[in-house]
Amino acid sequence: MEGSRSFLLQFAKRPKINMFTSVVVLGGIIIVFLFAYTAFGDDSEKISLNQVNIIFRHGDKTPTSSYYNDPYKETIFWPEGWGQLTKKGKKQMYQLGELLRARYGQFVGPYSTQNVRVDSSDHDRCLQSAGALLAGLFPPQGEQVWNNNLLWQPIPVHATPLDMDKLITMRAPCPLYKEEQKRSDKSLAAVYDNAELNKYLTEHSGQNITTLLDVETLFNILETERDSGKDLPSWTISVFPDKMKDIAALVLASFTNTPLMKRLRGGPLIKEIKTNMESYLSGTSRRKLSLYSAHDTTLVNVRRALGYNDITFKPQLGAAIIVELHIINDVPQVELYYLDSYAATATKRWEVPGCSTPCSLEKFSETMGSVMPVDWDSECQHSNSS
């Protein structure tokens, strides 16, 4: 701002410009400065913002598995272990934390247990991603500094064992979902015939590739190896990524292929976020920020439960769905945004399907009613066959 002030003063003192011209030009410059501040300033300074909920994908990881002819199947290539966050992934998540701090730092303020809660998938890569993101988002301030040589503070991250998770990984047993998934997978297999591709992949990978999921699993391995800078075998050139990517995205979408699957797989997290907003409005919670460290499947589940039915959506590393609660003219409203990745330069506004803009929380709750389970456990035990 001091540099801007000096520039304006120097401009005004130029001798060959009359007073009227100076005033006009100065006025124009001030308008430009104000516009730039409005356009690129911290969005969290909107006085209407009351709460933020963010679901983000973890950072770069090592492969979770290998294939039979994989030239990189030995653990020597992956010193972190299988399915673990890499150094690059840690940097990505720290960068995402800094990005979120720039957008919401003034709104949330310094970290406190009353203002912030962090939940994570119980996979190591998600737990570590949460920690790295928090380091960028909440460097200690003032009395929070406990080591002058380390600008970092420990922040609790909550996780549920995978086989009990009903929110993020959705690994908790749900018999009804399994029944529906079997029917759905059977119908998808009948529609998508990839016999030629499957044969090619089987011959060259050494794996028995027969299903859409088999293709997606192999795609993920190749993608991870490529992203780590490793040279892929020459046989992959004709099929990766182009001929495999859409199938990989389709598999992610297949977990919420029917209305029932959306309700049981994506609905619980939407319901949680709705409850967060309602609790804040009722005064039973002071929380301003809820973070969920998750997977690509989590983001796809939520997006499709929200009403987006595209089958090509495949979140990048560090991508995030953001649900903001605003109060405008005493009306609670929901705004939905998307960050493409940890390095995104701007958020994308998502409209809530079926909810006009502005989307009131009341209308949002009504629109999402069909995908939010009332009692997930009891609904999971009910059988469609009865």
With contact defined as beta carbons under 8 Å apart, do 94 and 136 qualify? yes
**Which residue among 246, 296, 310, 382 is the active-site one?**
296
Q: How far apart are CA 326 and CA 277, in angstroms?
A: 10
Angle among Cα 156, 294, 378 to the nearest 5 degrees reads 95
Residue 296 designated active-site: yes
**Which of the following is catalytic: 42, 58, 70, 123?**
58
Distance, in Å, from the CA atom of 88 to the CA atom of 86, rounded to the nearest integer, reads 5
The two three-digit tokens of residue 257, written as one number: 């292929």
Residue 94 sits at the vertex; the CA angle it makes with 38 and 84, to the nearest 5 degrees, is 145
Q: What is the dihedral of CA 225, 231, 237, 243, to 10 degrees?
A: 10
CA-CA distances (angstroms) from residue 7 to 1, 3, 18, 35?
A: 10, 6, 18, 17
Beta strand 331-339 with 359-360 is antiparallel
- Sequence-distant (6+) residues with CB within 8 A of 283 are none
Residue listed under structure tokens 């590393």: 317
Contact (CB, 8 A) for 132 and 168: no
User: Strands (DSSP E) along 121-230, which ranges?
Assistant: 158-159
- What residues are annotated to the active site? 58, 296
